[in-house]
Structure 1
Amino acid sequence: MLLVAVAILASCKEDEVVDEAYAAQEAIILDYLQENDLSDSTQKDESGIYYQIITENRSGISASTGDVLSIYYTAQAVDNQPYDAVTNNGSNEPVKMQFNTGSIFPVGLDISLGLMEEGDTAIFYIPTSLAYEGLDELSSIIPANSVIIMTVELVGIQSETEQDSEETLMIEAFISEQKLDSAIIDSTMIGGVWVRDTTMYLPVDSVELLPSGVYYKRTEEGQSNQTVNAGELADIQYLAYKMESYASGSSFDGTTGSDFFSFPLNDQAVITGLDAGVDVMEREERALLIMPSRTAYGASAFVTPRNRKDYLVEKDVIPTYASKVSPYQILVFEVELLQPQPIVN
């Protein structure tokens, strides 16, 4: 009985600490609203977030779990300068994220988006318990235990099916721009006669759409009928690009020199797009694999501040891949399937 009494007492003290911390955060919000004459225009959500709708779209739709949202935003701590922003200034694309699936950090932003309708602009006052509580190393840009103010413009709500369709159009445009299915026809005058010269961009085959949804383009033939079976090790060299960075040659991941990457084929050890592409390749073949996000990292994770992703990985807030790949990122892989490589102990 004594142990039970001690446990109850300890629990009560913890609740008191939590209540006091929340009360302190709420006091900061209420003081800020009063000082800026915003109290009458601000509402409180049951989560503890205060908010005001600045621009309301009365005919807009609300987001459902799993929807893909497109937003512009500015984030700052109370009485501080913005630490992150993507603004609707005519030159920026909105950022995308998946609603209510644990794919958005801080969680206060995820909750806030559920209070909006498509076309709305709103300001949210998010207590630290729903923002950056405990992440002390962010204090250089976000003071510890800060209330966070986020101004958000919700410009689009899509289903994942609609997102897939949008990505298909983007990939087809990429294939056309990169002339992956085309020949360049040029003419040169030789001895007073015009001679047509045909030079192929990335010869061998046209782009093929695999059942998985991956677009496959063989760029160099391999050894006929030398393939990798399910469960066998596939040894590859590769470079991975975000589709918009492919033309500039800026890869975000890959092997270097004589290094190679080895994985068991079709054993869920890698993203499905890589499995699907390598599955149709022959050894010593080179190919280009264009992967819609559903065959790559899908919704990944949206985080702000975006320039502290490595720290958030270190703290297990987001997975490692989310530090490199944004939500709904179309990827392009240049892959060479090697002959079996010796295992180095």
Structure 2
Amino acid sequence: MKNFPPFIMVLLILSFISCKEDEVDTVAEEEARIQAHFDSLDVDVSISESGLYAYPIRAGGVPSAGFVLSISYKIWVLGADSASTSIRSLDTVVVKKNANAIYPIGIDEALSYMKEGEKWGFVLPSYLAYGDHAFPNVLIPAGATMAVELELLDVRSENDILDAEVSAIADYVTDNNLRDTVTYPLNQPEMLANGMVYKRLKAGTGATPQSGQFISVTYEGRFLDGTVFDRAPNASVFEFYLGAGSVIPGFETGVQRMQLQERALIVIPSYLAYRESAVVIPHNITSEVADLEIIPSYASKVPPYTPLVFEIEVIGIN
């Protein structure tokens, strides 16, 4: 170990003490800010082991075994003018709790307090919120303490979700005339037992791909309403090993039915696609959070529990 002159050692010790005091002051300042917030409210506050502050705004509802929640929210930086800096959800947000699919993590914990029909308020210390990340476009600085109000509108199971998706997929087949053999003369759409739909658009040749083979495809990914969320055209061929788990299960299932040079339309329920995906609150920092690799990149494109439509052409099997 290097030996420092005595006066240098004194400076190093003083510097270390100063840094520790700064850390304590930062934590103390955050705690004081939170305490001041609750001093201004006439509510019963509970504090979890992790440090989440929770209080009911509107009680009610009954417990449910379901874990897929429809919520609305309002969120703002604690201490800021909530009237001008708060962000509300524009639409109902669907999330799966206790699945590491909600950011910030404090909101995932907050939802465990709630029953259907209830509204609660929470305060998230910075380490349960966004930590050292800053999002200037929504006026969230680094180290921000966040206040949030959550309303739990509906609770469902994943089976409930799948039942609704099966109906939506059947409507898609009807609304897009996939049974029209004039427009699509090759075959009727196949309704697979797993909830998928397979419709051949252009005939192929040869055998179907086998697990372990290297597959080259072009594709376009759409939602049921026709919105395109991803594509790999001829200039950007997508390649993968079949059976390696590098693509969503429904995509692999569809490709396994196809021949070389075949083009097909494949409709996939969410449980064979991105399932709960990931939700960022507020929603308008989702792309930034994906860029920081806090959530997977696909989550910035595909909302939770979203059936998908892929138009795929197999251009290589090796």
- SS for the counterpart of 2:220 is strand
Where does residue 250 of structure 2 map in the other structure? Answer: 273
Q: Deviations for 1:303-337, whole angstroms, at most 9, x for unmatched residues?
A: 12322233222322111111211111211111111
Q: Quick one: which amino acid aligns to residue 250 of structure 2? A: G
> Is the 2:166–2:195 contact (alpha carbons within 8 Å) kept by the matching residues of 1?
no
Where does residue 203 of structure 1 map in the other structure? Answer: 185
Q: Quick one: which amino acid aligns to residue 325 of structure 1? A: V
Q: Quick one: which amino acid aligns to residue 214 of structure 1? A: M
> Are residues 339 and 50 of structure 1, via their aligned partners in 2, closer, same or farther at CA, if it must alter by over 3 Å?
closer
Shift of 1:139: 7.4
- SS for the counterpart of 2:236 is coil
Q: Quick one: which amino acid aligns to residue 271 of structure 1? A: I
> Is the 2:135–2:285 contact (alpha carbons within 8 Å) kept by the matching residues of 1?
no
> Is the 2:65–2:157 contact (alpha carbons within 8 Å) kept by the matching residues of 1?
no
Runs of 5+ consecutive residues of structure 1 not aligned to the other structure: 1-11, 184-198
Verify: 1:34 aligned to 2:61, yes or no: no
- SS for the counterpart of 1:200 is coil
Verify: 1:85 aligned to 2:88, yes or no: yes
> Are residues 50 and 135 of structure 1, via their aligned partners in 2, closer, same or farther at CA, if it must alter by over 3 Å?
same
Verify: 1:293 aligned to 2:270, yes or no: yes
Where does residue 198 of structure 2 map in the other structure? Answer: 216
Query: Aligned equivalents of 2:99 and 2:110: distance in 1?
Result: 14
> Is the 1:119–1:156 contact (alpha carbons within 8 Å) kept by the matching residues of 2?
yes
Shift of 1:340: 4.6
TM superposition score normalised by structure 1: 0.78
Where does residue 228 of structure 1 map in the other structure? Answer: 209
Query: Aligned equivalents of 2:23 and 2:152: distance in 1?
Result: 32
Where does residue 302 of structure 2 map in the other structure? Answer: 325
Verify: 1:44 aligned to 2:42, yes or no: no
Q: Quick one: which amino acid aligns to residue 203 of structure 2? A: E
Shift of 1:82: 4.2
> Is the 2:270–2:306 contact (alpha carbons within 8 Å) kept by the matching residues of 1?
yes
Verify: 1:60 aligned to 2:62, yes or no: yes
Question: Relative to structure 2, which stretch is displaced further, 98-107 or 158-167?
Answer: 158-167
Q: Quick one: which amino acid aligns to residue 334 of structure 1? A: E
Q: In the TM superposition, what are the counterparts of 1:1-345 in structure 2 within 5 Å?
A: 20-35=25-40, 38=41, 40-46=42-48, 47-57=50-60, 59-62=61-64, 67-78=67-78, 79-80=80-81, 81-82=84-85, 84-87=87-90, 92=91, 94-138=92-136, 141-181=139-179, 183=180, 200-223=182-205, 225-244=206-225, 246=226, 250-340=227-317
Query: Aligned equivalents of 2:70 and 2:18: distance in 1?
Result: 42
> Is the 1:133–1:145 contact (alpha carbons within 8 Å) kept by the matching residues of 2?
yes
Q: Quick one: which amino acid aligns to residue 62 of structure 2? A: G
Query: Aligned equivalents of 1:106 and 1:213: distance in 2?
Result: 33
Shift of 1:137: 4.7
RMSD: 2.6
Identity of aligned residues (%): 31
> Are residues 16 and 162 of structure 1, via their aligned partners in 2, closer, same or farther at CA, if it must alter by over 3 Å?
farther
> Are residues 160 and 139 of structure 1, via their aligned partners in 2, closer, same or farther at CA, if it must alter by over 3 Å?
same
> Are residues 44 and 15 of structure 1, via their aligned partners in 2, closer, same or farther at CA, if it must alter by over 3 Å?
farther
Shift of 1:16: 7.8
Query: Aligned equivalents of 1:207 and 1:326: distance in 2?
Result: 26
TM superposition score normalised by structure 2: 0.84
